[in-house]
Amino acid sequence: VSPVGHTLPSNLNAVQREAVLYLSGPCLVLAGAGSGKTRVITQKMAYLLRECGYMGRQIVALTFTNKAAREMGERVKTLVDAKLAKGLIISTFHSLGVRFLREEAAHVGLKPQFSILDSTDALAIIQEMLATTDKARLRAVQQTISLWKNALMDPDAADRAAATPSEAEAAKIYRNYNATLEAYQSVDFDDLIRLPALLLQSNQAVRERWQARVQYLLVDEYQDTNECQYRLVQMLTGSRAMFTAVGDDDQAIYAWRGATVENLAKLTTDYENLKIVKLEQNYRSVQRILSAANAVISKNPNLFGKKLWSDLGVGEPIQVSAMDTDEVEAESIAIRISAERFERKAQWKDFAVLYRSNQQARVMEQALRNLRIPYTISGGQSFFDKAEIRDVLAYLRLISNDDDDPAFIRAVTTPRRGIGQVTLQTLGQFAAERQLSLFAALFEIGQTERLPAKQLEPLKVFGAFIQRIQERAGRRHSQQVAASAEPAGAILDDLLGAIQYERYLYDTLEERAAQSRWQNVLELLGWLKRKADEDELNLFELVQHVALVTMLERGDDDEPDAVKLSTLHASKGLEYPHVFLIGVEEGLLPHMGRDEEDGDPAKAAESLAARIQEERRLMYVGITRAQRTLHLTWCKKRRRAREDIVREPSRFIDEMGLSAIKMQEDPELQSLSPKQRLGMLKALLNKGAT
């Protein structure tokens, strides 16, 4: 029996149903948090598959995070048979971009196995060109380039638009940076969307092919699209414009990445026949939470009037606690979660702790660990995505498969061994002409006059070094692994010693960062060796195994029963029964990290106002993640760079409307020592257990 009834769509209110059934043209669902926008998307996919004869591969649904994509996929799976859903693309904009570029690589001058640089890699390239160690300046240039890319401006346009000398310099670097990416056969994150959008725009054949393929497109969180994404959607759907976009202008939180909420308004002008559906019932939160959210967001000017109501009851009072320090904040929340889990007969995963800045996670993690409370973190970096882990894995990948150009690039340039951009560009061109991998090209380019001896030498040394390790690992000229292969563990140790990776870390980073990265490398090494011993794997098998694990970690894992720690940004679209919003202080939320650039004071004031509005939307996103209870905390003192800074509660607390809030100071918890707090926890646990 199918999990749903025969008539689709099910479990929808009249307005949601209208949005699902509408297939006469483009459709925009514009509605506040928790009103079922994402539900409309999943139900509409099910409707298209089950009732309208669409095939899985004709439907594409786009969203912003891997997690959101995964959740959406799971929701659809409960609505339709796996067979019907086959081929369905539910992905982030970025992974659709990867898929697109793999297929169309030749049209944009890439090999299908192009590599994807993360922002650390990209920053390193910029650093090389800018010849400065001023991190703030480097980031500013990177950010500017990113904004240009997202606005679909090429280096020429950027050059023309540059108004200040520093922008002109950034434009020059932009041109250079693109050339370097090309030489490396690499793209950055922005390119994953920009290149497909540009190619679709310029190449009619490609455009027609993709338009024939994408019969229906759905986009979640539309308010956070940037110019590139807007264009991509437009190009994929063409004049038939068979798409549904859902969004909430009050939840636009990516302006700093070039997203423009005007894209919502633009739809209404670009598509005359656009159907607009507004949802007003909130199915997520109790009334008190909703009222607080509405009160906060009403302080922002808004594009479209929206009102939300809920019939889930009034709910418990929202709590606001002032804490002495961030450590006390973290500890008392950990204790509270333990206690409430018993009192409410809830699970760990019913609790989420949300914060503005990633740095707040560390103290919170420590407190949870002390109490042995399981937790997961999102919005942070995965182990296998860390630069140092990828550095080491790049060597291993190259050793086992020397056609892996991205690995070659990473290994040959990390640590630096006197092989510069020009050398690599020449090698890259030579490899492209002869259709060779970079590694193979390195041996052949020596037969020509293409590189002067001084540039050739370090390449040859590197090539010989990799070959030596390949032989030790048991690989001769065939793919067969020789019986004389040395154990993987010994080879790994020698490899790290030979490239002097630890020294490289300490040479290029501050001591603490170097230390923590080296720790990670040792952890990886220990893990690899254990794996090699346990399963008797040779080095090549080991590398394949790692690739698999990496994929698994990034892929589908069951949600464990654990407290969720998340940045506000990463919590978008999700919901939790009990939410703790921490660090609700002036300076942190709203965040005041980046200083206004000095210059025109009127402009600075305007951008400050714009920033506060964006922070307010972030606050709105945070509040509306909560289903049943919401607890805000702020700290009177917060430690920053070994200094205690006195803090004030956020203006957003006032804006929530005090009548809905029960101010609570938690005096009992404040005055206790950590040990006393632990004792108190134990008492609570005992109470809960009986």
Cβ closer to ligand ATP: 284 or 591? Answer: 284
Tell whether residue 11 is a contact of ligand ATP (CB under 6 A): yes
Q: Measure the CA–CA gap between 405 and 308, rounded to whole angstroms.
A: 53
Please give the full DSSP string across 599-662, using - where no structure is assigned.
Answer: S-HHHHHHHHHHHHHHHHHHHHHHHTTEEEEEEEEEESEEEETTEEEE--B-HHHHHT-GGGEE
Closer to ligand ATP by CB, 37 or 677: give it.
Answer: 37
44 is known as an active-site residue:
no
Selecting among 121, 188, 221, 224, the annotated active-site residue is 221
CB of 601 vs ligand ATP, minimal distance in Å: 36
Residue 252 is assigned to a ligand binding site: no
Measured in degrees and rounded to the nearest 5, phi and psi for residue 206 equal: -60, -45
Is 38 part of the annotated catalytic residue set? yes
Beta carbon of residue 352, minimum distance to ligand ATP (angstroms, whole number)? 13
Select the residue interacting with ligand ATP from 4, 10, 13, 23 (CB under 6 A). Answer: 13
Token representation of residue 299: 């302080």
Residue 573 interacts with ligand ATP (CB under 6 A): yes or no: yes
Distance, CA of 243 to CA of 60 (rounded, Å): 9
Stretch of residues binding ligand ATP (CB under 6 A), selected from 7-15, 303-311, 356-364, 664-672 = 7-15
**Does 315 engage in binding with Mg ion (CB under 5 A)?**
no
- Residue 258 as a binder of Mg ion (CB under 5 A): the answer is no
Q: What are phi and psi of 243, to 5 degrees?
A: -150, 160
| One residue of 36, 155, 196, 649 binding ligand ATP per CB under 6 A | 36
Check if 625 is active-site: yes
Q: How far is the CB of 13 from ligand ATP (least distance, A)?
A: 5
User: Does 376 appear as a known binding residue?
Assistant: no
Alpha-carbon distance of 318 to 289, in angstroms, equals 7
Encoding tokens for residue 413?
Answer: 């340039």
Question: Residue 216 CB: number of other CB atoms within 10 A?
Answer: 20
The contact pattern for ligand ATP, residues 616-635, with x = CB under 6 A and - = no contact, is --------x-----------
Does 283 bind ligand ATP (CB under 6 A)? Our answer is yes
33 binds, among Mg ion, ligand ATP, none (CB under 5 to 8 A by kind): ligand ATP
Q: What is the DSSP string of 454-516?
A: HHHHHHHHHHHHHHHHHHHTTB-SSSPBPTTPPPHHHHHHHHHHHHTHHHHHHHHS-HHHHHH
Task: Mark the segment that binds ligand ATP (CB under 6 A) among 1-9, 29-37, 306-314, 347-355.
Answer: 29-37
Apex 387 CA angle, 638 and 183, nearest 5: 130
- Binding track, positions 573-612, relative to Mg ion; x by CB under 5 A: x---------------------------------------
* Binding of Mg ion by 38 (CB under 5 A): yes
Cα 494 from Cα 489, distance rounded (Å): 9
| Beta carbons of 292 and 623 less than 8 angstroms apart | yes
Close Cβ partners of 559 (under 8 Å, ≥ 6 residues apart): 349
Using CB under 6 A, which of 20, 38, 296, 419 touches ligand ATP? 38
Backbone phi and psi for residue 620, each to the nearest 5 degrees, phi listed first: -60, -45
Residue at token pair 């800074």? 645
Among 15, 20, 26, 39, binds ligand ATP (CB under 6 A): 39
Residues at the site binding ligand ATP, with contacts judged by CB under 6 A: 11-13, 16, 31, 33-39, 248, 251, 283-284, 573, 575, 624
Query: What are the residue numbers of the active site?
Result: 37-38, 220-221, 251, 625
Residue set of the binding site: 31-38, 284
Residues at the site binding Mg ion, with contacts judged by CB under 5 A: 37-38, 573
